[in-house]
Structure 1
Amino acid sequence: MSSSASDGTADVDLVLSVLDDEGSRQLLLAADQHRSAQELADLTGIPNSTVYRKLDRLSEAGLVDEQTMLRTDGKHTTTYRTDFDAIRIAHGGFERFRAEVERAQEEPSERLADLWSQVREET
Structure 2
Amino acid sequence: MVRDPLRDEEPPSPEEVLNALADDAAQRFIAALSEPKTASELSEECDVPLSTTYRKLEKLTDASLLEESTEIRRDGQHTTRYAVAFDEVTVTVNENDRSLSIEFSRPDRSRDERLAELWSELREET
TM beyond 0.5: yes
> What's the C-alpha RMSD, in Å, of the aligned pairs?
2.8
Identify the residue that residue 47 of structure 2 maps to in structure 1: 45
2:30 aligned with 1:28: yes
Gapped regions of structure 2 (runs ≥ 5): 117-126
TM-score, scaled relative to structure 2: 0.78
Identify the residue that residue 86 of structure 2 maps to in structure 1: 84
1:10 pairs, out of 7, 12, 25, with 12
Higher RCO, 1 vs 2 (CA within 8 Å, ≥6 residues apart)? 1
Identify the residue that residue 103 of structure 1 maps to in structure 2: 106
Describe the shift of the 1:72–1:6 C-alpha distance in structure 2 as closer, same or farther (beyond 3 A): closer
Report the residue type matching 2:65 in the other structure.
L
Query: How far apart are the structure 1 equivalents of 2:7 and 2:91?
Result: 15
Gapped regions of structure 1 (runs ≥ 5): 115-123
Greater displacement, 87-96 / 34-43: 87-96
TM-score, scaled relative to structure 1: 0.80
Deviations 1:14-41 (A, max 9, x none): 1111111100000111122110000001
Identify the residue that residue 62 of structure 1 maps to in structure 2: 64
Identify the residue that residue 123 of structure 2 maps to in structure 1: none
Query: How far apart are the structure 1 equivalents of 2:52 and 2:60?
Result: 12
Report the residue type matching 2:49 in the other structure.
P
Identify the residue that residue 21 of structure 2 maps to in structure 1: 19
Query: How far apart are the structure 2 equivalents of 1:15 and 1:104?
Result: 18
Secondary structure at the counterpart of residue 104 of structure 2:
strand
Secondary structure at the counterpart of residue 43 of structure 2:
helix
Query: How far apart are the structure 2 equivalents of 1:3 and 1:13?
Result: 17
Secondary structure at the counterpart of residue 10 of structure 1:
coil
